[in-house]
Amino acid sequence: MKIVHVSDLHLTSINFVSEWGQKVIDMVNSTRPEIVVVTGDLTNEGHEHEYEEAKAYLDRIEVENKVIVPGNHDARNEGYVLFEEIFKTRYPCYENEKVVLLGIDSSEPDIDEGHIGRETYARIKGKLPADGKVGILAMHHHLIPIPGTGRERNIAVDAGDVLKLCVDVGVNFVLSGHKHKPWLWKLEKTYLVTAGTATSRRLKGRSHPSYNLLEIEDRKVTLKEVNVTNQDSEQILSIDIT
């Protein structure tokens, strides 16, 4: 099965590139994944008209199963209320015979710092580990600092507790965004996968817009970074889940 991980669209921002936005839709539709995960910052300021545009954009992705969580930009201006109205929940979950994928809201209204919160830990413990399936946790904020992104300001304030929880319950992958730079860390048996921005000019250095593609076959998982500008892909990881 295939899972596409997209993040930090920043629709309606002056930095949003419509050409890249169209390419993402075309590329994802041609890939035909079972699941699309969007790890936040769909909008730029959380306003109603931005959410309407974000919903219309994501509806053009022809994938039935979408796991969408808010980012810090989406939580601005009471945008967290609009997010729930439009996408129904800030804590989506998808499960099939191969994977359990839990999305959580790590945003706080009108501040950029992340916070998962003790009330959310029970959700993670209840859904993950995945009883022989691949267990995936999706959130906007990163749990470990990302190199090349400047001084660290917005990491989840309870990252230490959440990292220990992920290790204790055996989460296989943590998908996040926020820093606009793709990166991969491994902690014990948990892989922390950060996606770059897919459609925004807010890039780091000479990087390119990108999204991630996870392919799961039996217990083997392959991770690729897909360049939106030229459709090239680079294999980042290939492992057997034990």
**What CATH number does residue 208 fall under?**
3.60.21.10
Q: Work out the pLDDT band at 89, boundaries 50, 70, 90.
A: very high
Q: Residue 206: give the domain boundaries.
A: 2-240
Taking each helix axis as running N to C, give the angle between helix 118-127 and helix 159-169, from 0 to 180 degrees, rounded to the nearest 10: 20
Provide the pLDDT for residue 233.
94
pLDDT above 80 (res 130): no
pLDDT band at 44 (very low <50, low <70, confident <90, very high): very high
The mean of the pLDDT values for the chain is: 95
Closest C-alpha to 86, from 125, 59, 116, 122: 59
DSSP 210-229: EEEEEEEETTEEEEEEEETT
218 band by pLDDT with thresholds 50, 70 and 90:
confident
pLDDT of 42 strictly over 80: yes
pLDDT confidence band for 230 (50 / 70 / 90): very high
CA distances from 74 to 82, 138, 177, 237 (A): 9, 16, 13, 30
* Residue 118 parent element (H or E): helix 118-127
CA 127 to chain centre: 18
Distances (CA, A) of 157 to 35, 46, 72, 215: 29, 22, 14, 31
Reported as a single tens digit per residue, the pLDDT across 162-195 is: 999 999 999 999 999 999 999 999 999 999 999 9
Cα 224 from chain centroid (whole Å)? 14
DSSP-derived 3-state class of residue 103: strand
Average pLDDT in the 112-135 region?
Answer: 92
Task: Give, in order, the Cα–Cα distances in Å from 150 to each of 24, 145, 153, 154, 204.
Answer: 27, 10, 9, 11, 10
Q: 3-class DSSP state for residue 86?
A: helix
Confidence of residue 150 (pLDDT cuts 50, 70, 90): confident
Q: How many domains does the chain have?
A: 1
The model's pTM is 0.96
Residue 239: pLDDT above 90? yes
Mean pLDDT within 65-92: 97
Say if residues 51 and 22 touch (Cβ distance below 8 Å): no
